[in-house]
Amino acid sequence: MANSISTHINLVTNKFTNLSKKSWLLAVVSLVLFSTGASGFIKQSTEGLEAVGTPHFDSLKVAEDAVIPVSRKVYISDIKANFARDWMNTYRSDTTKHYRNKVLNDYSKALKAHLVDRLTLSGWDVVDTYENGALIVNAQIKDLFITGPEKLTREHVLVRNIGQSSIVINVEGADKQTMFEIEDRRDAGGLDSVFIETDNAMNYSWFSQLMKDWAGKFVIYLDMSTNKENS
């Protein structure tokens, strides 16, 4: 099983080498418990979520039972985003409501675009409106912290770290029950040894790259959990 999983992962992305075989095996044993039913669905267990070790996210929880479709259709629900409470306490009075809303909207769109790109690359049909039997992907950007936001004073901002963000993504199977859920928090990046001058474009670029990385890893797990060849 480990060899077939590694082969499948290499087809989806060339970025993953030196994977933890034990972690992958634990994930797949929990995720890939398939049997094909006459209704056209592959059936997997649905009694709650269980934590599984993973080298790629802070948390991975999988369902003992779920119902996932044979089709490769997936619908991405509206992506929500919010700033960290500490960030709001620090920067609310220094930033405009328009700026804050624009950032949350732009970052939500960026995450969705990366999810669509990676899903499409992996052979998924991403539908604009929910279709019966499609998987549902629910994603949320949480506790966004931008170290150098655009302030009312328009002052130049020097930072070593662009900021941090958390993400939660869960997948609902054909029965609308959660199949698995990931949570993760990461730095957006920066240059620890020197200060860099940041602005809206640079902040967006670094956070967009973080979301691209999350999207790529997420799709690998989605492929593993819905690929009959892994069973």
The residues spanned by each domain of the chain are: 2-230
40 pLDDT above the threshold of 90? no
pLDDT tens digit sequence for 115-139: 999 999 999 999 999 998 899 999 9
pLDDT tens digit sequence for 150-159: 999 877 789 9
| Angle 126-131-132 from CA coordinates, rounded to 5° | 135
Which amino acid appears at position 136 of this protein?
A: I
Beta strands in the chain (DSSP E): 35-36, 41-44, 49-51, 59-63, 66-69, 73-76, 80-83, 125-127, 135-146, 157-159, 163-172, 178-187, 196-198
Confidence of residue 143 (pLDDT cuts 50, 70, 90): very high
100 pLDDT above the threshold of 60? yes
pTM: 0.78
Q: Cα separation of 181 and 167, whole Å?
A: 10
Q: If phi over 0 gives left and psi between -120 and 50 gives alpha, with beta otherwise, what is residue 17? A: beta
In angstroms, what CA-CA distances link 186 with 27, 30, 94, 210? 21, 25, 25, 8
Mean pLDDT of 197-209: 95
Q: Cα separation of 150 and 70, whole Å?
A: 46
The secondary element (H helix, E strand) that includes residue 120 is helix 97-121
